[in-house]
């Protein structure tokens, strides 16, 4: 449920690459327990905006705030430390590794034996099962298979679980989470997003699918040519209005 104060606020964000202005004076607020959809045509500035939000890029000008406190980040790792993470369309999974190894990729758990450090595969597996079940309501038939053998929706669940296993995660950005998924896998992924919303996260979803956007979002942030041209409350809007904003046919009310 949206509260009065955003978890994350972006104010007057501008980003220039040489003589090209990718973002021009963009504001964005994300609240706990809501799904904020970001929509717009290719080149509208969506990816640049979320890369600034997740620490990959730094803005040319503008300010960000986390719980009303000024927020600056110099890397994606620093964003994760502040409770902000992203699941990109590529998922960044190691297909030859099993699900638990992917959940802990780059942050493996170890144990000591005879003064030497070894991977604690048992603990990583049990923790992976717990996170998938408790946070996402997902139970895999086997944890002993290569991730490449799993369905698209299961792979998406693993990528999401890798982000949400951090107990201090507060903002999750999802880039085209249902791209290349069939209807059933899409429905499962949208269910995962709703579960994260119910847990109080601010979930920011970039999507070209207005069907998905109108099913899961609370607000729709429309980008066009590097600017925010409108923010619509989903239940008070419709596809024609949002499409009109995307293509520049009319302005927000």
pLDDT by residue (tens digit) across 108-150?
Answer: 989 988 888 899 999 999 999 999 999 999 999 999 999 999 9
Share of the chain above pLDDT 90, in %: 81
Give me the residue label for tokens 């066009």.
224
Mean pLDDT of 232-247: 95
At CB < 8 A and 24+ separation, what contacts does 89-92 make? 89/175, 89/176, 89/177, 89/179, 91/155, 91/156, 91/158, 91/159, 92/159
Predicted confidence (pLDDT) at residue 251 exceeds the cutoff of 80:
no
pLDDT of residue 194: 94
CA distance 130 to 95: 21
- Reported as a single tens digit per residue, the pLDDT across 200-212 is 999 999 999 999 9
pLDDT band, very low/low/confident/very high, at 89 (cuts 50, 70, 90): confident
pLDDT band, very low/low/confident/very high, at 249 (cuts 50, 70, 90): confident
CA distance 82 to 164: 13
- Reported as a single tens digit per residue, the pLDDT across 173-218 is 999 999 888 899 999 999 999 999 999 999 999 999 999 999 999 9
CA distance 122 to 88: 28
Domains of the chain in sequence order? 1-83+170-253 (3.40.50.300), 93-169 (no CATH)
pLDDT of residue 88: 87
Mean confidence (pLDDT) of the chain: 92
pLDDT of residue 1: 46
- Reported as a single tens digit per residue, the pLDDT across 18-77 is 999 999 999 999 999 999 999 999 999 999 999 999 999 999 999 999 999 999 999 999
Q: In what order do the strands lie in the sheet with 84-87?
A: 84-87, 171-175, 202-206, 34-39, 219-224, 227-233
pLDDT of residue 3: 56
Predicted confidence (pLDDT) at residue 253 exceeds the cutoff of 80:
no
HSE, side-chain direction, 13 A CA sphere, residue 121: 7
């Amino acid at each position: 449920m949206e509260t009065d104060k955003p978890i994350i606020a972006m104010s007057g964000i501008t980003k220039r690459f040489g003589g090209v202005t990718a973002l021009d004076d963009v504001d964005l607020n994300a609240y706990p327990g809501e799904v904020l959809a970001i929509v717009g045509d290719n080149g509208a500035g969506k990816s640049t905006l979320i890369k600034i939000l997740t620490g990959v890029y730094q803005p040319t000008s503008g300010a960000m705030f986390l719980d009303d406190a000024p927020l600056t980040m110099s890397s994606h790792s620093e964003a994760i430390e502040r409770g902000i993470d992203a699941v990109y369309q590529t998922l960044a999974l190691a297909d030859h590794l099993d699900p638990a190894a992917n959940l802990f990729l780059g942050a493996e758990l170890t144990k000591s034996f005879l003064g030497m450090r070894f991977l604690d595969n048992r603990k990583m597996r049990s923790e992976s099962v717990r996170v998938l079940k408790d946070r996402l309501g997902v139970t895999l038939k086997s944890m002993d298979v290569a991730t490449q053998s799993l369905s698209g929706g299961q792979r998406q669940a693993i990528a999401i679980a890798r982000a949400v296993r951090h107990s201090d995660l507060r903002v999750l950005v999802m880039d085209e989470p249902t791209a290349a998924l069939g209807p059933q896998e899409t429905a499962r992924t949208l269910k995962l997003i709703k579960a994260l919303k119910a847990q109080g996260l601010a979930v920011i979803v970039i999507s070209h699918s207005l069907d998905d956007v109108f099913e899961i979002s609370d607000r729709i942030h429309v980008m066009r040519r590097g600017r925010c041209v409108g923010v619509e409350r989903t239940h008070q809007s419709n596809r024609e209005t949002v499409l009109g904003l995307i293509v520049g046919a009319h302005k927000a009310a």
